[in-house]
Structure formats: structure tokens, C-alpha cells
Amino acid sequence: METIVGHAQSLVYSLLCLMPSAYQKASLNALFGLFLEALGHPLPQSTQVKSASSLSRFLNHYAWSTRSVIRVTRQAIFAQLSQYRPRQDAPLRVLIDLTTLEKCGKFLHLSTPTENPDAPDPWVRMLNGKRGLHLVVLYLNLGQWRIPWSFRVWRGKGKTSPAQLACRLLATVPKQLVLDAPVIVLADTEFGTIEFLRAVNNRGWRAVVGVRCTRKLQDGSNLKQLYRRGKRGTQIKLEGIPFALTVSWFWLKQASGKRELRFVVSTYPYSGVYLVRLGRKRWAIEAFFKTIKHRFGLHRFGQSTKLGVYRWLVLVLIAYLLVHWVHQSTALPQLDWKTASDLAMSILFASVLWFQLLRHLRKTVHIAAHYHFEIVLKSLPNLAYQEWCKI
């Protein structure tokens, strides 16, 4: 599986080649070095390679193409999947969910200029009792591969809703991945709208979406009443949806110890038991959110422009992808993100480790002198050049 590491190295090299200057290449290396520490707080002021101000200029002001970075990354993903594609009948699972990157403070620099200076911030908003940046994320699961593909920013009430943003994200799913295998779209209750179910059904994909127990059927009853007199796997028609859906339900145990009745519907006629089992696979995106925040620091942005925030989010997702690829190249059965991140750092960004070591030696040279030692760094001779001179 060494070729998987080769794909990761090729992607890093391609990203560096997109940077217009050596200073920006060094800044990109420094940022990836921060993310791959996998400690959850990649603050620019803690880097030992570049200054915090240089990283801020790199994210907020320097003229490098973010779109080209995304395009090159997606091309690398296609190249990876073309060589290590799972079996042809393996389903493509498209997971969509909303996550909040909680923030405190005014964050006036993220506001859009309007005639009213007191207008609310269109990026940092309140939703479900949480204030921050709210992202609708599309996450692909194909065999053993985990791919954070795209995201959209929710701009607040009166703007495009999360379900509508999810419909737009469905259009970004690459056609190369949906030609042969079935496509299963997994989403939470918030996306169980008529518009979203229609968007999935019109593409010929299979939706497995949670719905509220108060949703009405075409006969006037609701789903909670169906629990009393029906059975799982029944074909139903919800109000406002012309096509039939398969419904199932389960009891979810809350943290308080109480149980809550949950319903899940599908546009494909799965059995009731399998539909519940399939719906639980949606939790894979929750594990992704936990990892991308608490390991790679997705929510730790503090840039002064929207461009800087957007670039931060994109680069964090690429760092997650690189670590995932490096882990896939190993024979380790269980994924430890810290171990995999350290391995990715040593393979893909050895220069960052080297500069960190030099900085550490420079800071601690007085300790060696206290014990009557001297640290001397000496470059090794170029053995290949010497052999060439002998010819």
C-alpha cells in the first residue's frame, strides 16, 4: 500500500507548486505542521516555523488560488479511488449534516457591509442555542475511504435554509462515483423536508432520513399514531410527497437515561430492521465532526477576513484527508489519529520537524552547556557527488 503514501506525497507537492513564492510555500508547510500536531488547538502563535503574522497574511491577504487548491485535491482523490476503488457493488454513502463551530466575541470582521451598521453578522449566528459559524457538510463514505467533500455556510434566518443548502451540495457529488454502485443519502431529522426528499429521489438515489413523529400522513394521521397500530417496514405517503416511503422506528436512549422514539424513512423499500441499521450509519459523520474539531482544530479559526476563514477550513479538511491516507497505507487495524498524524508529519512534512528540532536545540543549548556539552550540527558530505567525481 506504499502507493497510497505516494498519492499523499504527490498531493502535497502539487499544493506547494500552487504557491507563487517560497515564503508562501513555507507558510503552507507551517500550517499543515500545526494541523498535524493533532492536539486540537493549532494556534498560529504556537508555531515554531513561521511567525503568527506571516501565517495571518498568508490566509487573509496573499493572492494564491483557493479554488485551484480544491481542484487539485479533488483530482488527487479521483486518482486514489481509481487505483484503490472498492468492489463495484459497494454503495456510495453520502452523509449530510449540520455542525456548529462555536465562537464568542463580536466578530465584526466577518460581517457583510450593509446600510445598517448594527445589522447582525451573516456568518456568526445563533442556531439551536449555539452561537458560531454553522456549516452544512457533505461527507462521502466509499468502502474504507472517508472523504470530506464539500460544505456550505448557513447565513441565518431569512437566507437559504440548511435543507436547501444540502440540496445544493447534492449537485457537487462527483458523477464518476455514482455511475455503477447505488447511492445512499443519510441525513438527520433537520433535512427530512419535502424539498430534500424530492431532490434525492429525482436523482434516482436512495434517501435514508430521520423525520419527526409529528409528520402527517396523507390520511391525516401522524407517524406517532402509526407506531401504535402499524409495523416497521410499512409503505406510507407523507403529506406533500407524491411517492411512497418506507418507515421504521426505534427507541433512542438519551444521556439522561430516558428513551425517545425516533422515526426514519427511506425512498427505497428496505426492511424495517435493516432500515434502522442503515440509518445508524449516519453517526459516522458525527465521529468525523468530533475528530476534525478536537484533533485538527476546525473551529480554531481567528482570521480577519472571510477569505481567511474559508482557507482555514479548506486546509484543515485537506490535513484530515492526508492523515487518513497515511493510515490506510499501514496495516494497523485500529485508527489512532494522533499516531497517524505523527506518521504523516514524519513522511509528508519532514522539513517542518527538522526546523522544529533546530528551534528546540537553539532554545535548550544552555542546558547542554550547563552539563559541559556542546551541540554541533555538521552537514554530511554528498556521497553521490563524491562517487560521481571518482568516475
Q: Closest by alpha carbon to 192, among 158, 220, 219, 223?
A: 223
Q: Model confidence at 389, in pLDDT bands (50, 70, 90)?
A: very low
pLDDT band at 83 (very low <50, low <70, confident <90, very high): confident
Strand segments, DSSP code E, in 217-372 are: 234-236, 245-253, 259-266
Model pLDDT, residue 111: 67
pLDDT tens digits, one per residue of 242-292: 899 999 988 888 777 788 888 999 999 999 999 999 999 999 999 999 999
In the beta sheet, which residues pair with residue 385?
none
Please tell me whether residues 314 and 336 are part of one structural domain.
yes
R_g of the chain computed on alpha carbons: 25
**Domain co-membership, 369 together with 273:** no
Of the chain, the percentage scoring pLDDT greater than 70 comes to 93
CATH code of the domain covering residue 103: 3.90.350.10
Q: Which three cell numbers stand for residue 83?
A: 487505483
Confidence at residue 29, expressed as pLDDT on a 0 to 100 scale? 92
Predicted TM-score of the model (pTM): 0.89
Structural domain of 202: 88-294
Q: How confident is the model at residue 391 (pLDDT cuts 50, 70, 90)?
A: very low
Same domain flag for 312 and 264: no
Looking at the structure, tell me whether residues 233 and 370 fall in a common domain: no
- Collapsing DSSP to helix, strand or coil, 116 comes out as coil
Q: Do 59 and 120 lie in a common domain?
A: no
Check whether residue 185 and residue 142 sit in a common domain: yes
Q: Is the model's pLDDT at 109 over the cut of 80? A: no
Tell me phi and psi for residue 260, to 5 degrees. Answer: -125, 135
Residue 87 and residue 108 in contact, taking contact as beta carbons nearer than 8 Å = no
List, for residues 7-59, the tens digit of each pLDDT value. 899 999 999 999 999 999 999 999 999 999 988 888 888 777 888 899 999 99
Query: What is the per-residue pLDDT for 49?
Result: 80
Report pLDDT for 387: 47
Q: How confident is the model at residue 194 (pLDDT cuts 50, 70, 90)?
A: very high
In angstroms, the CA 63 to CA 105 distance is 28
For residue range 89-98, what is the model confidence (pLDDT) as tens digits? 789 999 999 9
119: pLDDT strictly greater than 60: no
3-class secondary structure, 42: coil
Q: Which of 279, 294, 309 is the last residue of a domain?
A: 294
Cα dist. 190→96, 128, 140, 322, 374 in Å? 10, 12, 19, 31, 63
**What are the angstrom distances between the C-alpha of 36 and each of 139, 182, 296, 346, 349?**
20, 34, 7, 10, 9
- Residues 246, 109 share a domain: yes
* Same domain for 65 and 111: no
Q: Report the mean per-residue pLDDT for the chain.
A: 87
Those residues whose C-beta lies under 8 Å from the C-beta of residue 302, and which sit 6 or more positions away, are 43, 44
pLDDT of residue 269: 92
* Number of neighbouring beta carbons within 10 Å of residue 379: 5
- Tell me, yes or no, whether 324 and 290 share the same domain: no
Which tens digits make up the pLDDT trace of 151-180? 999 988 888 999 999 999 999 998 888 877
Indicate whether 233 and 321 sit together in one domain.
no
Q: How many CB atoms lie within 10 A of CB 342?
A: 17
**Is the predicted pLDDT of residue 135 greater than 90, yes or no?**
yes
> How far apart (Å, rounded) are the C-alpha atoms in residues 296 and 289?
10
HSE of 210, CA atoms in CB hemisphere, 13 A: 19
Cell numbers for 55: 501565517
Residue 287 and residue 332 in one domain: no
pLDDT given at position 382: 62
310 with 360, same domain: the answer is: no
Report the C-alpha gap between 262 and 370 in whole angstroms.
Answer: 66
* Distance between CA atoms of residues 55 and 45, nearest Å: 9
Q: How many structural domains compose the chain?
A: 3
